[in-house]
């Protein structure tokens, strides 16, 4: 069964975003989107059209790959924390467009410093359920366990690599009021999370932008991490596209706030 078309307008035409979105879903996950459409058909068929149109708009821009876009979406949904059904759908879609099970778990791990352990643990629970249903085995090692004593040195080096002076300024600003927090940022966020091999620096910054945009109210942290995204090699266009990818999942206000931060950074350089 193909994806059902909604009724066309008076002139019998259909907008191109819908047609592109329909084609993209047919190429990647026709059964999955058809289930969404069927579930909405009785009370809100217009919403299924919106979903396909937005998909056609966002996923057709070649600035980011499907693989990258799903990393961002998964991180945004983890950060929101209350969308397990949608998170499971996107984890499954991520598998279909090339994400590995290990990468999905690593995305959840990377989100811990930005949205906390409970939301990350809930995401791991969703992933475990999905993997069990599909008989997928995941083998992830605690790769830094044997070199915990090097965490501070590793964290300082990684902080300099990723955030440069911006990260150092954040840590220094905490020294007189919350030194333990500064230590946790250096030792845990950078010495542990950022030092894991499961994602490369560009992927980690895409995931971070998704998580912070979804959180909302994190404009100072977005300022640091948009700069970090540029520092590790993402282009301005890729950073903006990562933020825009969040709009269907977080709503426009959070995305507008994040775009405002990006604009301030880009026009200050």
Tokens standing for 123?
């995401």
Is 179 found in the same domain as 58? no
Q: How confident is the model at residue 91, as a pLDDT?
A: 97
Distance between first and last Cα of the chain: 52
Q: How confident is the model at residue 230, as a pLDDT?
A: 96
Decide if 23 is inside a domain.
Answer: no
Q: How confident is the model at residue 165, as a pLDDT?
A: 79
Is 128 found in the same domain as 85? yes
Q: How confident is the model at residue 30, as a pLDDT?
A: 86
Q: How confident is the model at residue 6, as a pLDDT?
A: 47
Decide if 114 is inside a domain.
Answer: yes
Tokens standing for 44?
């809100």
- Find, among 128, 149, 124, 145, the residue nearest to 196 by Cα: 145
Decide if 126 is inside a domain.
Answer: yes
Q: Are 262 and 226 in contact (CB under 8 A)?
A: yes
Domain range spanning residue 258? 32-37+47-138+197-267
Is 261 found in the same domain as 224? yes
Decide if 52 is inside a domain.
Answer: yes
Mean pLDDT of each 10-residue bin along the chain, 269 residues long = 44 69 86 86 91 90 95 98 95 95 97 97 98 94 87 91 82 85 91 95 98 96 96 97 97 98 89
Number of compact structural domains in the chain: 2
In this structure, how many other beta carbons lie within 10 angstroms of the beta carbon of residue 166? 16
Decide if 8 is inside a domain.
Answer: no
Is 169 found in the same domain as 121? no
Decide if 209 is inside a domain.
Answer: yes
Residue 211, classified by CB atoms within 10 Å of its CB into exposed (0-12), middle (13-18) or buried (19+), is: buried
Residues whose CB falls within 8 Å of the CB of residue 79, separated by 6 or more in sequence, listed in order? 111, 114, 115, 119, 210, 211, 212, 214, 215
Is 210 found in the same domain as 167? no
Is 260 found in the same domain as 230? yes
Q: Are 53 and 21 in contact (CB under 8 A)?
A: yes
Is 53 found in the same domain as 180? no
Q: How confident is the model at residue 104, as a pLDDT?
A: 98
Give the CATH number, domain containing residue 97. 1.20.1290.10
Decide if 11 is inside a domain.
Answer: no
Is 181 found in the same domain as 51? no
Is 244 found in the same domain as 131? yes
Is 229 found in the same domain as 120? yes
Decide if 2 is inside a domain.
Answer: no
Is 109 found in the same domain as 225? yes
């Amino acid at each position: 069964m193909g994806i059902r078309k909604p009724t066309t307008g008076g002139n019998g035409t259909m907008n191109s975003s819908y047609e592109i979105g329909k084609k993209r879903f047919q190429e990647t996950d026709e059964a999955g989107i058809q289930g969404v459409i069927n579930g909405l058909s009785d009370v809100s068929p217009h919403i299924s059209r919106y979903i396909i149109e937005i998909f056609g708009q966002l996923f057709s821009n070649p600035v980011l790959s499907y693989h990258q876009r799903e990393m961002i979406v998964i991180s945004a949904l983890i950060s929101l924390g209350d969308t397990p059904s949608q998170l499971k759908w996107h984890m499954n879609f991520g598998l279909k467009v090339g994400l590995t099970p290990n990468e999905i778990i690593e995305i959840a791990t990377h989100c811990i410093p930005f949205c906390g352990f409970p939301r990350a643990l809930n995401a791991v629970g969703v992933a475990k359920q999905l993997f069990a249903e599909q008989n997928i085995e995941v083998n992830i090692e605690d790769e830094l366990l044997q070199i915990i004593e090097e965490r501070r040195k590793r964290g300082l080096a990684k902080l300099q690599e990723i955030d440069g002076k911006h990260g150092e300024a954040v840590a220094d600003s905490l020294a007189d009021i919350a030194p333990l927090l500064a230590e946790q940022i250096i030792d845990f966020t950078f010495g542990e999370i950022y030092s894991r091999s499961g994602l490369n620096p560009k992927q980690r910054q895409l995931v971070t932008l998704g998580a912070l945009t979804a959180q909302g109210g994190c404009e100072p942290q977005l300022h640091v991490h948009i700069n970090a995204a540029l520092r590790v090699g993402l282009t301005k266009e890729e950073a903006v596209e990562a933020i825009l990818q969040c709009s269907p999942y977080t709503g426009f206000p959070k995305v507008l706030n994040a775009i405002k931060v990006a604009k301030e950074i880009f026009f200050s350089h």
